[in-house]
């Protein structure tokens, strides 16, 4: 999980960012998820990698702007909710969870990412709408966060860790 979801982004950055800095142009985009802002049961490793990407992208943004003085080297991150893939075939967050985080069409997610790249703007792509709310929820007392977590249905959505087959690794 750490190799695929985190290290791959570091290696890609190490490979391509030096040339972007030299040319003073480029766009580095990472794909995270709603779990880049919060975690759920049975997903600590996944959530850790996605949280790390948020910090990595934020740091890269400031490095490009302040350290390297390359405002046209863009850094974006896609904070994506549940997308219609094999991973989410049996994923069920319940009625309220589906309302707050509807299953996204892959083409819609791809369009959001392509729009950011074509616009050549640094962006935090957050979809669906509920992802915009997640960072602010951390400011609430724990009993409120626990209630919202239970309401979302996320903790019951994975009965155990997904298998490698579910993750597309076999």
Question: What residues act catalytically?
Answer: 46
* Whole-angstrom distance, CA of residue 1 vs CA of residue 168: 12
Q: Number of helices and strands (H, E) in the chain?
A: 7, 3
The CA distance from 141 to 145, in Å, is 6
Q: What is the DSSP string of 66-128?
A: IIS--TTEEEEEEEE--BSSGGGTT---HHHHHHHSPPBPHHHHHHHHHHHHHHT---EEEES
Within 10 angstroms of residue 93's Cβ, the number of other Cβ atoms is 21
């Amino acid at each position: 999980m750490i190799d695929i979801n985190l290290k791959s982004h570091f290696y890609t950055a190490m490979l391509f960012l030096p040339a972007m800095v030299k040319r003073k142009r480029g766009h580095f985009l990472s794909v995270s998820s709603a779990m880049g802002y919060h975690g759920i049961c049975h997903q600590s490793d996944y959530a850790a990698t996605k949280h790390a990407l948020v910090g990595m992208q934020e740091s890269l943004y400031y490095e490009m702007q302040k350290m390297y003085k390359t405002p046209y080297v863009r850094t974006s991150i896609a904070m994506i909710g549940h997308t219609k893939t094999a991973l989410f075939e049996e994923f069920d967050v319940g009625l309220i969870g589906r309302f707050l985080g509807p299953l996204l069409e892959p083409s819609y997610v791809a369009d959001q990412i392509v729009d950011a790249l074509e616009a050549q703007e640094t962006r935090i792509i957050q979809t669906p709408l509920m992802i915009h709310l997640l960072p602010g929820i951390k400011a609430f007392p724990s009993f409120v966060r626990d209630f919202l977590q239970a309401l979302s249905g996320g903790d019951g959505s994975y009965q155990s860790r997904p298998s490698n087959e579910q993750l597309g690794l076999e």
